[in-house]
Amino acid sequence: MLLVLEPALEEKNIERVVRTLEELGIRAEIVRSASQVVVFVHSDVRALPTHKFSQIDGVARVVRISSTCPLVTSNTDSAIEVAREIDGRVTIGGGAPPALIAGPCSVEGLEQILELARRVKAAGATMLRGGAFKPRTSPYEFAGLGAEALSYLKEARRLTGLPVVSEVMSCEQVELALESVDVLQIGARNMYNYELLKEVGSTSKPILLKRGISATIDEYLHAIEYILLAGNNQVILCERGIRTFEQRTRNTLDLSAVPLLKSMTGLPVVVDPSHATGKRSLVRPMSRAAIACGADGVMVEVHSSPDKSISDAEQAINPAELQKIAMDVSHLYKSLISIDETESGLACSQPGEVRLVAASSSKSLG
Ligand code: PEP
Ligand code: MN
């Protein structure tokens, strides 16, 4: 059961709700979501009548839950779109202009990342990505420069002001990355790593959680729930393609997941067309498609000499292509706003509504 508390309830009153429950022998916990404070009731209260809870001072609403991921779906009714602020500099979601997260698959050296950071910024990127710890399918492939790369990313952020996104694969790496990274990325392979989800959930950093390679939407929702339950509601979702029977692309980009996840969770959703397609020629068209279906941003892999990328060379684009994507994103975003405005203008001047007003005023005159 969830007790949704009255808005702007004072701290002492919030705690009083929990105390009242404890006096009844009920175990409960305060959970602060992006938009509201709720009390999560852990004890089995199925046999107790709802009014026992709704009559407690400060409780606005009682929600009996059958869902196994109540925190993720608590926004669904209100359809609130949550914005995430990264380091006070970039906003993702909530109707803000789409974020453009760009950078190499792997940080390959200090010069490389500094040059790329400058070039992606000039091309229109709003955040820098770069892998320090790389999950590789083969243990013989380059696995990233590790902690050394984190210090390079920190320097790139200092020089460009771009907030940095980088992946962590273990609890130890979370500790190492906290100082240099603005957004902790959980990669597709680790979406099911529940200890890692709990660990990043205990930090106050925004988390970019990628959808698992074969994860259903329900499995993805439960992974998000782990992070929210651990106390961190700064979650950004990322659709990066799922495994299907198709062999011509690296994965299959499930764009329907974008509006679906947005409406189910209220959280910002970005799309990674690089890992979704594995082909540089498809990155721009799928970035366009992502924005058209409502994504709050795109994350793309960029390299100064794409063919020479140490990892994921086939999907790397150059900064000139990124600049085209930046322009596409901006044009599409403006077009969508103007379509929405036209639509709401039309909705206000429905002929039926006009007739209704006329009918009631003529009645009152008569
Ligand atoms: C990445 O973004 O660097 C990455 C490894 O992606 P994914 O986890 O989606 O495969
Ligand atoms: Mn990659």
**What pLDDT, in 10s, does the model give residues 202-213?**
999 999 999 999
The Cα 348–Cα 138 span in angstroms is: 58
The Cα 346–Cα 340 span in angstroms is: 10
Q: In this model, does residue 139 exceed pLDDT 70?
A: yes
Strand partners, 41: 28
Mean per-residue pLDDT for 225-251?
96
Ligand 1 midpoint to CA 187 (Å) = 5
Mean per-residue pLDDT for 149-157?
98
Give phi and psi for 15, each to the nearest 5: -65, -30
pLDDT at 76: 56
Q: Is 283 left (phi over 0), alpha (psi -120 to 50) or beta?
A: alpha
The percentage of the chain sitting over the pLDDT mark of 70, rounded to a whole number, equals: 92
Q: What is the pTM of this model?
A: 0.83
Q: In this model, does residue 351 exceed pLDDT 90?
A: no
Least confident of 38-42, 81-85, 334-338, 352-356: 352-356
Atom 3, ligand 1: which residue's CA is nearest? 105
Atom 8, ligand 1: which residue's CA is nearest? 187
Per-residue pLDDT band for 220 (boundaries 50, 70, 90) equals very high
Ligand 1 is surrounded, with C-beta below 6 A, by 105, 131, 135, 167, 187-189, 210, 240, 272, 275
Residue 253 CA: distances (Å) to CA of 147, 152, 249, 276, 281:
32, 31, 9, 5, 14
Closest ligand to Cα 167: 1
pLDDT at 353: 44
What residue type is assigned to position 118 of the chain?
A: R
Per-residue pLDDT band for 147 (boundaries 50, 70, 90) equals very high
Point out the ligand 1 atom lying closest to the alpha carbon of residue 189. 8
Point out the ligand 1 atom lying closest to the alpha carbon of residue 299. 2
The Cα 341–Cα 365 span in angstroms is: 35
Point out the ligand 1 atom lying closest to the alpha carbon of residue 190. 8
The residue behind tokens 């984190």 is: 150
